[in-house]
Structure 1
Amino acid sequence: MRWLTSLAARLMPLAFLLIAATAVAQFWLQHAPSGLAIDGYLDSASAFLGKYAWWEMGVSLALWMIFFMGYFRERHRVAYPDLVDGSRIMDILDRLTNRSALEAKLASQPEAIFIDAEQLAIALKAKVIGQNGACDDMAAQIRRRLALKQRGKPVGVFLLAGPPGTGKTYLAKCLGTALQRKLLHFDMTQFSSGGHGATQLFGSAKGYVGSDVYGKLTSGLRDAPDAVVLLDEIEKAHADVQKNFLTAWNDGFVTEASDGKQISTTQAIFILTTNAATDALQSLSELHANDSDELRRTSTNALRESGFAPEIINRLDRIFFFKPLSGLDVARVVALEIESMIKSYGLNVSLGGIDPEVLYDMMRRQGRLGTAASARDLVRIAEESIADTLIEAKQKGHTRVSLVTVDGRVIARPET
């Protein structure tokens, strides 16, 4: 606009002369005396100027309008900065805020992501045994929430409730693998003290020991903003530690205590697990299986009665109920744990290479531990039963083995 105003100002004298000449020509045509020697020339010039009088007047008027518009804009530049350069919104932002910082923040907002819920569910069910309903529901929830372009909160805050050893922790790990996201795993029993537990996760304020190092959670989310954050046995954490997560779930950030920096949580998935109110939740999940609203209401009441803070419950997006394992589902879990252990020693298991007697014995031993038994107990039982024979097989150079029971002992035999 400035260059146009400048051009109009330069052409303004010429426009003035044209108007004056046109006026003189019109006057001459109407009032000129006759008999002059130059009558012919003046008549021709006057006729020419008169013919284009309206065009000259229009151009001149346009030039004057452009000039005065430019003058008005320059005169009110300070009073009305939002009218400058034709960019009303951005000029307001320049005047009232840090536009560059705002643009950077908007650029960091998560984009909508579309995943195949069916394929995700299949991947989860292939690993997490006996919890098909929870796997299907989890896949559907993740798909819906990732598709939201503007969230302002985490992708999801999900509570997995149920007896120990049913696959809650394992589901979170499998979810991270399936989505190709880093897993940040925190055993919340280690954060049962208020102040110390909070500093481990969220950092220490300046002047305190460790203030030069970020907390475990804040550093993890800083380096992997889209991580799956697993808070195992959340009910065991101190109440003050739990409350530190409220801004993460409600406002979309956590604050690092050492420097006050806000770390975004809008791309993260929070998975909480609990063993609290197991019996009550199991009964409610069966009683209200076809009424999701009533199940949500009654299950949150059960969690509140078991000690969960209301502000934590209110920020849960979904509660998933895990069923106790029985029969062949237990055998499947045992078989998967054995296969994982064999691979951890650099070996492979032969097709059909686990003697049913081996599985049955481990299932029986875990069953004696009662409902308090967990996957960790199963790993311990497997280590006691097969670790030594796997080490011997590896030392002998075997690569693929079968497990059989001989005189009450498990033996790793090489594939023939």
Structure 2
Amino acid sequence: MSIFRRSVKYVLVLRRSARLAGVVARRVHGMGAGGDPGSEYRTKARRLMLGAGSLGLALLAADLAFNEKRFFKAAKIGNVDEIRAQIEASAGKGELDAENTSVNRRHALGWTALMIAAANDQPSAVRELLRLGARHDVQERYAGASASASSAGLHPLEVLQRREDEFCPTMNARASFLGWTALHYAALADSAGSAKALLESGADPTARDHAGRRALHYARDPSPTRDLIITHTRRWEEAAAAAAAEERRRFPLEQRLKQYIVGQQAAIEAVAAAVRRKENGWADDEHPLVFLFLGSSGIGKTELAKQLARYMHRDDPAAFIRLDMSEYQEKHEVAKLIGAPPGYVGHEEGGQLTRALARRADAVVLFDEVDKAHPDVLTVLLQLFDEGRLTDGKGKLIECKNAIFVMTSNLAADEIAQYGLKLRREAETRSAQRVGLVPPTSAASGDDAAQTPEAEESLEVSRLFKDTVVRPILKRHFGRDEFLGRINEIVYFLPFSRQELLTLVNLELKRWADKAFARHSVELRWEGGVLGALADGYDVHYGARSIKHEVERRVVNQIALAAERGALARGCGVLLSERGGRVTLAVRRPPSADYTPLDLAAA
């Protein structure tokens, strides 16, 4: 019903009220003529007329204003006229964005009108809400009666009652529906009309809820709704695969990894080649892809796994699962990984790994410091790597053949580091022989030297070193050939070259320069010799972390001390210089353009 029709309706109501008040007034006036005081009755008549008019106006104003309860009720029962009227009543309020408009307004407990209509099998209401601007990608915030009651400050019984009365009486009000979209509800309600309207408006059938499940997971089998969702899911997946293939063609994995990983060219190439085989169907589809990253601490192993997940799944946080295996050193902690068996404490919670894989079965899973895990944990991992599936504590089978598993370890780190340094020296010697020069040992002369390094020779670990040095160490620790046999690639991370160290120092100084400007309005600059002085603090056993600590110790400490002594204020500039292997500070105070050296050693 439009606002105009409602206005006409209540004008008629007012006219009837006024007519009735007039009749009463005439009768009262007649009674007054019979000898009673007429003025008293006329006053009552006027009051009656005024009350009737006020009531009519109040009814009209209330009906023309947006009423959230009536709006949600209309969505539940499929009253399209009421939905349209409520949206028209809210027009002109000037909502700022699509998330805050009345059609996308959230109930106090987390759902929207579009979700209500889909859950109650009201296709006409779904279509009308979509036409009025309802967003099909909005996710549910209802987390079950207990959690929602706690966040809303209500009693759980009240939440249960409101969920049944104001949302849908046929759905389990105690369960969590976090992350559900309207399409999830249409699938569960087996509402083919609602699902069709949502899908034709652009709803994503591959969207996952908080548990990692798509709408298809909740559809009945068989049913027209399920067939419809399957058809659209295939289209979305084909389009996504084509877009991903085109993006990878234009922006290969190696290019992405080199943006975030300093050096480690051989490691990047090995990982990219294996992933490319898997993605293009040139690998064993019955087994997941398994890597073992070996090398010193702080050399890029964990960062490479993170960037691999970002590249494969476009920054989806659920697609990267990291487990610190130092937390699984005891036999009983296997239950923490896959879940406790029935009858034991924590059975309902499930395991850390199984819960995460249930949400994203194609995730990149990092087992950090796998050499510290208990042998029983390794047995679980062997099943995972060998069969591409895992049974949790509840007996549920989780298929994860499309996952990528990365293990990191410091085993043989010293041997790999020494071997890498030997390869570096040999490469430098060959380079010097090619150009007829002695390899340089001094630091780069400026910032540009660290930013534009010359192409270096890719170092390759020999088969002899792998078989005679590294493999015996791995076999002695893990104690089983079948575990090592399920690893597709053992990737070696070698120590940084001199040029890579200068790049690391430069990146770390830039990071601190950004912080100094953002937090303290201090401009930080440095001369080229500073890079070499700080690079000398590199420790092959701690990798890039040793560079980070060196910058903090020799640069950040001095800046903090200068600020504490009042020599450095907001708006100042700091210039780092190298003098005899020491890093010194000079400060520029505005409006001066000159830097004044600071002697922080003086009391």
Secondary structure of the 1:226 match is coil
Question: In the TM superposition, what are the counterparts of 1:264-283 in structure 2 within 5 Å?
Answer: 264-280=399-415, 283=419
1:124–1:171 CA contact under 8 A, matched in 2: yes
| Letter matched to residue 318 of structure 1 | E
In structure 2, the CA distance between the partners of 1:384 and 1:309, relative to structure 1 (3 Å rule), is: farther
1:183 is matched with 320
1:317 to 488, 496, 502: 488
In structure 2, the CA distance between the partners of 1:162 and 1:396, relative to structure 1 (3 Å rule), is: same
Cα-to-partner distance string for 1:75-118 (whole Å, 9 max, x where unaligned):
xxxxxxxxxxxxxxxxxxxxxxxx97xx999x99x988744396
Give distance in 2, aligned partners of 1:271 and 1:412. Answer: 47
1:235–1:308 CA contact under 8 A, matched in 2: no
Give distance in 1, aligned partners of 2:575 and 2:383. Answer: 51
Give distance in 2, aligned partners of 1:148 and 1:372. Answer: 39
1:124 is the counterpart of 2:257 = yes
2:471 to 300, 307, 312: 300
1:364 is the counterpart of 2:501 = no
1:153–1:266 CA contact under 8 A, matched in 2: yes
Give distance in 1, aligned partners of 2:261 and 2:416. Answer: 20
CA radius of gyration, larger in: 1
Cα-to-partner distance string for 1:137-157 (whole Å, 9 max, x where unaligned):
211211110122981322x10
1:118–1:139 CA contact under 8 A, matched in 2: no
1:205 is matched with 341
In structure 2, the CA distance between the partners of 1:328 and 1:294, relative to structure 1 (3 Å rule), is: closer
In structure 2, the CA distance between the partners of 1:324 and 1:292, relative to structure 1 (3 Å rule), is: closer
| Letter matched to residue 536 of structure 2 | R
Secondary structure of the 2:347 match is coil
Q: TM-score, normalised by structure 1?
A: 0.59
1:153–1:249 CA contact under 8 A, matched in 2: yes
1:373 is matched with 542
Question: In the TM superposition, what are the counterparts of 1:70-219 in structure 2 within 5 Å?
Answer: 114=245, 115-116=248-249, 119-148=252-281, 151-154=285-288, 156-179=289-312, 180=314, 182-196=319-333, 198-219=334-355
Question: In the TM superposition, what are the counterparts of 1:24-43 in structure 2 within 5 Å?
Answer: none
Secondary structure of the 1:312 match is helix
Give distance in 1, aligned partners of 2:360 and 2:395. Answer: 19
2:537–2:546 CA contact under 8 A, matched in 1: no
Identity of aligned residues (%): 27
Secondary structure of the 1:204 match is coil
2:506 is matched with 335
1:237 is matched with 373
Secondary structure of the 2:536 match is helix
In structure 2, the CA distance between the partners of 1:412 and 1:342, relative to structure 1 (3 Å rule), is: farther
Cα-to-partner distance string for 1:185-213 (whole Å, 9 max, x where unaligned):
122222222212x2222122222222221
Displacement after TM superposition at 1:127 (Å):
1.8
Give distance in 2, aligned partners of 1:336 and 1:214. Answer: 41
Give distance in 2, aligned partners of 1:226 and 1:410. Answer: 50
1:358–1:404 CA contact under 8 A, matched in 2: yes
Displacement after TM superposition at 1:291 (Å):
9.7
Report how many residues are paired. 307
Cα-to-partner distance string for 1:298-332 (whole Å, 9 max, x where unaligned):
55344213545322201101111111113121222
Give distance in 1, aligned partners of 2:586 and 2:405. Answer: 42
Cα-to-partner distance string for 1:214-247 (whole Å, 9 max, x where unaligned):
2221111112222111111211111111111122
Question: In the TM superposition, what are the counterparts of 1:2-17 in structure 2 within 5 Å?
Answer: none
Cα-to-partner distance string for 1:5-63 (whole Å, 9 max, x where unaligned):
xxxxxxxxxxxxxxxxxxxxxxxxxxxxxxxxxxxxxxxxxxxxxxxxxxxxxxxxxxx
Cα-to-partner distance string for 1:168-197 (whole Å, 9 max, x where unaligned):
11111121222225221122222222212x
Question: In the TM superposition, what are the counterparts of 1:382-401 in structure 2 within 5 Å?
Answer: 382-384=551-553
| Letter matched to residue 195 of structure 1 | H
Q: CA RMSD in A?
A: 4.5
Question: In the TM superposition, what are the counterparts of 1:338-353 in structure 2 within 5 Å?
Answer: 338-340=509-511, 347=518, 353=525
1:246 is the counterpart of 2:382 = yes
Give distance in 2, aligned partners of 1:263 and 1:411. Answer: 61
Displacement after TM superposition at 1:358 (Å):
5.0
Give distance in 2, aligned partners of 1:410 and 1:260. Answer: 64
Cα-to-partner distance string for 1:267-313 (whole Å, 9 max, x where unaligned):
211111122123555649979x8898777655534421354532220
Indicate the larger mover: 330-339 or 136-145: 330-339
Give distance in 2, aligned partners of 1:142 and 1:414. Answer: 53
2:88 is matched with none
- Relative contact order (alpha carbons < 8 A, sep ≥ 6): 1 or 2 greater? 1
Uncovered stretches (5+) of structure 1, i.e. residues with no partner: 1-98
1:22 is matched with none
Give distance in 1, aligned partners of 2:271 and 2:386. Answer: 20
Uncovered stretches (5+) of structure 2, i.e. residues with no partner: 1-220, 427-458, 594-603
In structure 2, the CA distance between the partners of 1:143 and 1:362, relative to structure 1 (3 Å rule), is: same
